[in-house]
Amino acid sequence: MTEQQWTHRVLHDPADLDDTPPALSATEAQPWANFVVFTPDRLPAGTRLGHQSLRREAPPGRVGDSMAGRTPWSANNPAAFRFEVRGEGRRLRVKQFLYDWAFPALDHPALWESRTDAERLDEHHVLWHGIDYLGHPGASARIARTMIELSVLDGTFTREEITDLYRSLRPVDPEAVTAIDATPFAALSYWARRPEAPVIAVPLGLWDLRQVNTAAITWRAAGEPHALLGTVTVPHHLGDLALDSIATHDGPSPVAAEYLYAGGPGRGRELRLYALNAEHLPAAIEPDAHPGEREDVTVAGHRVRLACIDEAHGPFDAVIADADDRPAWRLLASADTHTDRRWFLRVLGDLLGANHSAP
């Protein structure tokens, strides 16, 4: 693997943004993307590849009245690539981007509050089926850290057609895949690279401890000097995943620090360890709105509130109590074919039994 990290093209002023995202193929979009861009090599019977477009990255800000292709919930301007698949009386849209403003809730945030179920795509990756935030049949997968969201806009597509479309996705540029794989999250993320980008308040998992917009989050790669901040020391590996990037949360936030562990193909398998800020925690931590399974377990003498969607694949969300039974840490896992309940509990045991300052 090359040590050369990925650098993508960006606009340097929001005034340079197109009124409408320009029509670009996946190959043309890759140099502008801070994520691996995929394109299908086969389509459902009777359909064709339709409109393809790229929202180019620019600093935060709005100029003019156009909102075409832009995020309606903030003035941030991260990159995103879209393509459509069209047939007689039916149409779907696929959107690709790096979900880099928070841990991507349950690995399928576009299906939030929908009852979802997992399907194995290949040796590593999981596809989620459900209803998206627009009320449309949808699906979601994260491959090589790229969030790939599908929404059925018109007509119907069978589950088998949707799954086969995902299985047909291929990166358009192998050299970009290698360089992006060599790049830590802190060097890819729009929010990590642009401290002026407003933080977005979003769900993180199955417990109602959300990211708040009052936080000021500072990211750095784990290998940088002084990457382990303050008095907290964490393991350099959890399970088979290596510490990738670290963030501090300043301001009124329930999170004091964030440790991202990544590994697997394209660094797509992920753990997020949060050191919680007792001063800004709610009086009681309740379940969040997304359907899932929740239980209390004891690991290494600590009470753990454990939640998941699928015991065979994850994702998992654990709130860990300290010796005085106060919430002190949170551990979130992405979905993967190897991330089952036994693996996650073993990681929790390693974390709580290691010689560091976790509770």
* pLDDT over 80 (residue 68): no
Task: Tokens 């606009």: give the residue.
Answer: 11
Task: Say if residues 160 and 305 touch (Cβ distance below 8 Å).
Answer: no
Residues 353 and 358: their CA atoms lie apart, in Å, by 9
Residue 38: closest CA among 334, 263, 268: 268
pLDDT score recorded for residue 4:
87
Its pTM stands at: 0.94
Angle at 265 between CA 261 and CA 268, to 5 degrees: 45
Residues 299 and 352: their CA atoms lie apart, in Å, by 8
Q: Which of 4-18, 21-35, 138-152, 220-234 has the weakest average pLDDT?
A: 220-234
Query: Rounded mean pLDDT of the chain?
Result: 92
pLDDT score recorded for residue 70:
64
Q: Taking residues 28-45, report their average pLDDT.
A: 98
Which amino acid, residue 13? D
* pLDDT over 50 (residue 358): no
Q: What confidence category does residue 233 fall into, taking pLDDT thresholds of 50, 70 and 90?
A: confident
pLDDT score recorded for residue 200:
94
* CATH classification number, 14-181, choose in 3.30.200.100, 3.40.50.10470, 3.50.50.60, 3.30.930.10: 3.30.200.100
Q: What confidence category does residue 355 fall into, taking pLDDT thresholds of 50, 70 and 90?
A: very low
- Residues of the chain with pLDDT > 90: what percent? 86
**Tokens representing residue 157 in the block:** 């597509």
* pLDDT over 70 (residue 181): yes
Q: What confidence category does residue 21 fall into, taking pLDDT thresholds of 50, 70 and 90?
A: very high
Cα dist from 294 to 109, 305, 310, whole Å: 19, 7, 11
**Tokens representing residue 33 in the block:** 């993307």
Residues in the chain: 359
pLDDT score recorded for residue 65:
65
Give 191's contacts (C-beta < 8 A, 6+ positions apart). Answer: 76, 100, 101, 197, 199, 217, 219
Distance of CA 60 to the CA centre of its chain: 20
Task: Say if residues 181 and 266 touch (Cβ distance below 8 Å).
Answer: yes
Residue 347, H or E segment: helix 341-353
Q: Taking residues 86-93, report their average pLDDT.
A: 97
Task: Say if residues 86 and 47 touch (Cβ distance below 8 Å).
Answer: yes
Task: Say if residues 78 and 97 touch (Cβ distance below 8 Å).
Answer: yes
Write out pLDDT tens, residues 156-175: 999 999 999 999 999 999 99
